[in-house]
Amino acid sequence: MSLALECRKIKRTGLTAAFLGGELLASAVPVLNMAYRPELYLHREASPVNVLLGAGWQMMVMLNVLLIVTGACALYHMEYADNAILKMCSLPVKESGLFFGKAFLIAGLSAVFLLMEAVSVAGCAVRWFGTGREVCGEVLRNLGFSLLLLLPAILLALLIASVCKNMWIALGVGVIGVLIATMIPAGQFAASLFPFALPFRTLSGLEQETIRGYVTAGAAETAAISVLEIILLRVRRAFQ
């Protein structure tokens, strides 16, 4: 019920259009890279998907994470704006249900985001590298990996937004989180487990062991942030 409610709430917020715009921009990155400087990428030894992701993934995922932070702020801002949250709290709906409804919504929008990026990467691989259908498997594997690693970032952005009543504080904290993520070098496994930094990782060049580590960390962080949010909401409710 919460998810359906959330879908109706975003009708006039422009969130869907913002995500669509971001998707178009992010999907254009590999296409523009290949159209304007193909000589930089065509003669590399790595697989086409890895070359394309290596060239543009940082920018694509950054757009995605920034949109997630913005979306999370907007979704909670409309609850806090005219004290709508108090009305929501008086309904027979759990406050955590509200949170997970919003999380599912952003996860769905992000999944579409990743799907469009995957189509763009696969299209570039076929058009410029002349690969066949086998590229789909590799692209889909990357998509699944990225979606799982995005979940902690989505939940953390929503957790921050749900805690801060002022939109600029939530946005500021989220932006600082993205700033930390951009400063973490790829080689440091422990530091890159920070929820906002996780999605910046791709499958290319990772060993099976490290991939397993990232997948486990993604799942564990998703569960941990969910539990933390439920506790925070209970505590806040108790003091209201």
Partner 1 sequence: MKFLSLLRAELQKTRRSGILWILLAAAVILWIPSILNAEMNFGMQAEGISPEHNFLIQGFMAMAWFMFPASMVVVTVLISQTERIHHGMLKMLALPVSTAKLCLAKFLVLVFYSGMGFLFSVGMYYVSAAIASRTQGYEFVLPPLFVMPEAAAVWASSVPMQAFFWMLAVCIRTPVFSIGTGLASIVPSVLMLNTSVWYLYPMAYPFFVITARYGELAENLSMETIEFFPWLSAAVLITLACLLISCFRFGRAERR
Per-residue interface string for the shown chain with partner 1, residues 113-152, x marking contact by CB under 8 A: ----------------------------------------
Stretch that binds partner 1, among 45-53, 84-92, 132-140, 180-188 (CB under 8 A): 180-188
Give CA–CA dist 220/204, Å, rounded: 22
- Applying the rule CB under 8 A, the residues between 91 and 120 that interact with partner 1 are none
Determine contact, residues 110/154, Cβ cutoff 8 Å: yes
Indicate the residue among 63 and 159 with the shorter CB distance to partner 1. Answer: 63
Q: Does residue 197 touch partner 1 according to CB under 8 A?
A: no
- Applying the rule CB under 8 A, the residues between 21 and 60 that interact with partner 1 are 21-22, 25, 59
Of 236, 63, 239, nearest to 153 (Cα)? 63
Q: Does residue 190 touch partner 1 according to CB under 8 A?
A: no
Q: How far is CA 19 from CA 4, 107, 113, in A?
A: 18, 11, 7
Instruction: Tell me, rounded to whole angstroms, the distance of Cα 192 from its chain centroid.
Output: 15
List 3, 5, 7, 18, residue binding partner 1 (CB under 8 A): 18
Q: Does residue 67 touch partner 1 according to CB under 8 A?
A: yes
- What kind and span of H or E run contains 28? helix 15-36
| Number of chain residues interacting with partner 1 (CB under 8 A) | 34
Of 136, 139, 100, nearest to 225 (Cα)? 100
CB 206: neighbour CB atoms within 10 A?
15
Which residues have CB under 8 Å from 36's CB, separation 6+? Answer: none
Q: Does residue 62 touch partner 1 according to CB under 8 A?
A: yes
Determine contact, residues 75/15, Cβ cutoff 8 Å: yes
Smallest gap, in angstroms, from Cβ of residue 130 to partner 1?
A: 26
Positions touching partner 1 (CB under 8 A) are: 13-15, 17-18, 21-22, 25, 59, 62-63, 66-67, 69-71, 73-74, 77, 81, 166-169, 171-173, 175-176, 178-180, 182-183
